[in-house]
């Protein structure tokens, strides 16, 4: 199954444009077709007992959109939010069947074209010793390294008992 996913990524890697953004000093990128819009920082309404990485929800032109702290989701150190922080509203599935999700980033840097020849699988680096989780590809573009997020995995909620991704957990479970 993992080999099929790697093969699918290799076949589609570098085809199209990517939105690059910052989390601290690290630059990440996601396919532009998954981006709905980029909005300035705004007040987020907390949701009690939400998953730890869910900051809450926003009202986006009459639609309630959950907002994820991408730093926390990726297990990164928390930093004070800077003046360039914004919310990137992403589509969690290509078919637009699920509601969009806002992702807090430190700043958007550019839209770039990444060629297939610029992309390497993380499994191929260090003889497979790099386990990156949500980052399975790295692009070398214009002399800089961009970490390509597996956005489907990042935006998916907690896994269910069968190991399948669920939906974002806006409400946690009560004590049993």
Does 69 reside within a domain?
Answer: yes
Q: Which tens digits make up the pLDDT trace of 20-39?
A: 999 988 999 999 999 999 99
> What pLDDT does 175 receive?
36
Does 43 reside within a domain?
Answer: yes
Does 113 reside within a domain?
Answer: yes
Which position has the higher pLDDT, 114 or 16?
114
Read off the CATH number of the domain in which 110 is found. 2.40.50.180
Say what the alpha-carbon torsion angle 17, 22, 27, 32 is, to the nearest 10 degrees.
Answer: -10
The CA distance from 176 to 126, in Å, is: 44
Does 169 reside within a domain?
Answer: no
Pairing of strands 144-149, 26-31: parallel
Domain range enclosing 82: 2-154
**Could you give the number of structural domains in the chain?**
1
Say what the alpha-carbon torsion angle 7, 13, 19, 24 is, to the nearest 10 degrees.
Answer: 60
Q: Which tens digits make up the pLDDT trace of 69-91?
A: 999 898 888 878 888 999 999 98
Does 50 reside within a domain?
Answer: yes
Q: Which of 38-52, 111-125, 158-172 has the lowest mean pLDDT?
A: 158-172
Does 44 reside within a domain?
Answer: yes
Does 167 reside within a domain?
Answer: no
Q: Does pTM surpass 0.85? A: no
Structure token digits, residue 69:
């702290």
The CA distance from 171 to 66, in Å, is: 11
Does 33 reside within a domain?
Answer: yes
């Amino acid at each position: 199954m993992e080999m099929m996913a790697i093969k699918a990524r290799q076949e589609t890697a570098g085809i199209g444009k990517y939105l690059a953004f910052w989390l601290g000093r690290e630059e990440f990128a996601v396919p532009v077709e998954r981006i709905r819009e980029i909005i300035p920082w705004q007040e987020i309404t907390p949701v009690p007992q939400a998953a730890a990485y869910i900051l809450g929800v926003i009202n986006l032109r009459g639609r309630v959109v959950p907002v994820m702290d991408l730093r926390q989701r990726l297990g990164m150190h928390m930093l004070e939010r800077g003046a360039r922080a914004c919310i990137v509203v992403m589509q969690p599935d290509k078919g637009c069947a699920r509601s969009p999700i806002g992702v807090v980033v430190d700043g958007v840097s550019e839209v770039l074209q990444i060629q297939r020849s610029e992309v390497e699988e993380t499994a191929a680096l260090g003889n497979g010793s790099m386990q990156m989780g949500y980052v399975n590809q790295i692009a070398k573009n214009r002399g800089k390294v961009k970490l390509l997020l597996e956005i489907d995995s990042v935006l998916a909620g907690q896994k269910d008992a069968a190991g399948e991704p669920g939906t974002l957990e806006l409400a946690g479970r009560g004590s049993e």
